[in-house]
Amino acid sequence: MATTNNIPLPAATGKESPTWMAHVLIPLTQNLLGGLAVSSLTLIAYYAVSNWLGSAMETKSALLWNGLIGAVVASGFTVVRFFGDDLGILTGAYRAGQASRDIEVNALSLELQECQRLIDQLNGITINNRQRDELIDRCQRSRDHALDLVRRRLAGEEYRRKQLDASRVINQHDWGRAHKLLCQAGVIDRHTKMMTARTVAEAQRALDPVYKNGLEMAKRGGRPAWLVA
């Protein structure tokens, strides 16, 4: 810790404390000047267009409307600047909660499938090797079809269920299982149906953990939720 005349000075934290000038007055002044600049530009554009068309609005009305435009711009940027951090915190909390919910839903689905398998075993219901091999093969096909759907969407190719079924590329049942796997992995948003991955590699990284869990369940005779279609 630095000292001056034997008086200890606080250590530098590298973080500037908020001040009225830097964090309130200057941002407000910038926003007001920005709104004034926008109002001036729209006023210039208005008079240029009016002269070109040979018609003009009353000066009072022109000043009023362009002033309102500038005020809206200044107010809008003030709200964004002062409440941007709060909105970012809320958005981040929502996304974190959504991701946590998906993980919990996936874990509960695995537990339910395992419980169902144990109940079947207690009731004397067993799965033979042929059925187990069929489940494993269906899991593998679902992963391959899911990555193919991602590739098609990113490349702008046809990826819809009916069209691919009609062209005998992927039948409707396989398409449904692949789509459910993508939704379970979060590659496709369940509500908006929009794809969140930007590359096939990114989609595969999100897909593989969910696929491997389902594959292990299939090897034990269980059926992951995304495999039922």
Q: Are residues 70 and 30 in the same domain?
A: yes
Domain of residue 78: give its range: 19-105
Query: Is 153 in the same domain as 205?
Result: yes
216 and 134 both lie in a single domain = yes
Assess if residue 160 is contained within a domain. Answer: yes
Whether residues 146 and 219 share a domain: the answer is yes
Residue 115: name the closest of 209, 103, 123 by CA.
123
**Does residue 66 sit within a domain?**
yes
Boundary-marking domain end, from 54, 74, 105: 105
**Are 140 and 221 within one domain?**
yes
Q: Is residue 48 part of a domain?
A: yes
At how many degrees (to 10) do helices 129-155 and 200-219 cross?
170
Backbone angles phi, psi at 71, to 5 degrees: -65, -40
Query: What pLDDT digit, counting tens, does each position of 10-58 carry?
Result: 444 444 566 666 666 777 777 777 777 777 777 777 777 776 766 655 6
pLDDT in tens, 94-150: 676 666 666 677 667 667 766 765 665 555 445 567 777 888 888 999 999 999 999
Instruction: Specify the pLDDT at position 68.
Output: 78
Mark whether 98 and 132 lie in a shared domain: no
> Tokens 């990113």 appear where?
154
User: From CA 169, how far away is CA 145, in angstroms rounded?
Assistant: 10
Within a domain: 111: no
Q: Are residues 208 and 143 in the same domain?
A: yes
Q: Do 133 and 217 belong to one domain?
A: yes
* Domain total in the chain: 2
Report yes or no on 10 lying in a domain.
no
